[in-house]
Amino acid sequence: MYCSIVLAFTIYLLGVCTAASAESTDTDPNISSMPIVDIGYARYRASQYDEDNDYYLFSNIRYAAPPTGSRRFQLPEPPFYEEEINDGSVGYACNQATNIQFKWLDLVTSPDRQSEDCLFLDVYVPGWLVRDQMIAFNSPLSNFTFDTSAIDGSSFFKGLPVLTWIHGGGYTFGEKGGIHNPKGLLTVAEGRLVYVAINYRLGAFGFLAGKKVKAKGATNAGYHDQRMALKWINQHIDKFGGNPDDVTVMGESAGASSLLHHLTAPEDVLFHRAILQSIAFYPQYDNAILEAQYQKFASLAGCEDDDSFECLISADSDDLARANKDAVFDTLYGTFQFGPYVDHKYVPLLPVFRLAYGTYNKDVQIMSAYNIDEGFIFSDPTVVTTIQFDALVDRHFPNASEDVVEYIKELYPGRDYNTYFTRVSDIIAEWIVECYSHYLVEAYPGAYLYRFSIFPGIHSADVPLTFWGGSSALEQAGRSLLQVDDIEHLAVSFQSYLVSFAISGDPNKYRLKDNEVPTIYFPKSSEWRGKPMLNVNRRGFSYLSLTDDGPDKERCKFWQEGDWTGRY
């Protein structure tokens, strides 16, 4: 069964990459007739108009200066002034890297589309906003510049709610576009949303740690990229018809854990609602391990002397990209070498502890989710003996005492499992993903929680439903992976919950009630004592109890207490 699921997941990811290379650069042939938005430092012309779904795409907008040269490994800086009108034809994905289990992705990801110069975002605007603006100005489309204060001759238009997407990919690969095409979501939204998708620095470029980075650079730089993009939305989205005071951010996997880190950061949060799908990140907190990551990367880049950081700043970009790939490739199965880490600045502590201590941003509406088998793709199938299992547990928890390590094994006793693989999978699933359902509903009592229960229920298996209708490759991969008879109607109903939450803060207000796969009422986690968790299954939707059907509460309590960290 392991092989068949891996094959299905491979098909799914292959669809991801094929779609990314084939669908992310499409532009309208009549681009000269497209509307233009003046955002102060630049003017951007729409690159595409979707007539069927009635929206304009403004692609590859720079939200920050290129993080190259002296700006490498530093905080993002404001974008430069541009004199010429920008049509969005130039834009790159951030440098990609994959670990050994996904190394084959390099075969289908074009190096020509990757660059350090990658801090771009896309904005999708409903066509009716543009047409109303044309009427207000009585001007042809080609001469039109967006100014929402003039829509319908009124200055009271506050703009549409904004849904922003932060992609996943283990913090080492992925991009704003590709299969994450929001066409289906925008169709369900019926012109009631402005949509934004962002890139952010990945791998060593965005999450290099170590003493020299802390002294001379920016720690967790990728998160500061995300904050810069969110600040851009606050400053400029009104020029595209969006309301900067009504922003929902949605992320899956690393995108969801990005949101978790923003929620638990000491700085004010820059969004109003969050949809966190399968929070996943490998906890990094040990300074010695982080320093070893730095030294390894510097060595691979040919920068091993005392001036290694200055060497990295001046190194050739291709050499750094190669070192990044090599470092990520050579890492523990299921992990990705680089990612968010405790820097005692933007990440003062691991988020799980910030939630427990009450030191997080509370004035945010939350929707959170997990899948039924989150640990599967992060678990090493070659672990088949007791010696191998013990060694793996020791490696995952290097600072834990012997007593704590033994206690972890007792929490997941071997007698409860037929294989070491499923035992490891359960540990990883609850530790880094599933237990956040408990933590978040306690931190946000009015949160909405759902579980994605469609077999195989592995990590990222819900992405085809989230972005159904945007990519034919993703739809094909979703059919192969999920084997759901009426997946089209299920996906649209599922999307209506997400869209309704983004528009109103209530997933019920605009949900599809009369679709062929009808929705049901989505309760808040604190609303019912019985079964307040929505269940997404093959036939549609039902209810579950987090206490009875979710991850083990006592084991989750152990993970939040933090003895496994060695109490650093």
Q: Find the helix or strand (DSSP H, E) in which 166 lies.
A: strand 160-166
The dihedrals phi and psi of 201, each to the nearest 5 degrees, come to -60, 140
Identified catalytic residue from 24, 253, 308, 379: 253
CB 381 within 8 A of CB 420: no
CA dihedral (474, 479, 482, 486) in degrees, to 10, reads 120
472 is catalytic: no
For 432-486, where are the alpha helices, taking DSSP H only?
A: 436-443, 463-466, 472-482
DSSP 419: S
Q: Shortest CA distance to 140 belongs to which of 50, 30, 31, 34?
A: 34
What is the Cα–Cα distance from 461 to 15, expressed in whole angstroms? 13
Peptide bond into 456 cis (omega under 30): yes
User: How many residues are listed for the chain in this entry?
Assistant: 568
Q: Please state, in angstroms and as integers, the Cα–Cα distance from residue 549 to each residue in 372, 530, 543, 555, following that order.
A: 10, 11, 10, 14
Q: Shortest CA distance to 199 belongs to which of 132, 133, 266, 119?
A: 119
Q: Find the helix or strand (DSSP H, E) in which 426 lies.
A: helix 420-429
DSSP SS3 for 452: strand
Strands across the sheet containing 120-126: 48-50, 55-62, 120-126, 194-198, 160-166, 242-252, 273-277, 365-371, 448-452, 533-537, 540-544
Q: Shortest CA distance to 38 belongs to which of 144, 112, 115, 172?
A: 144
Residues belonging to the active site: 253
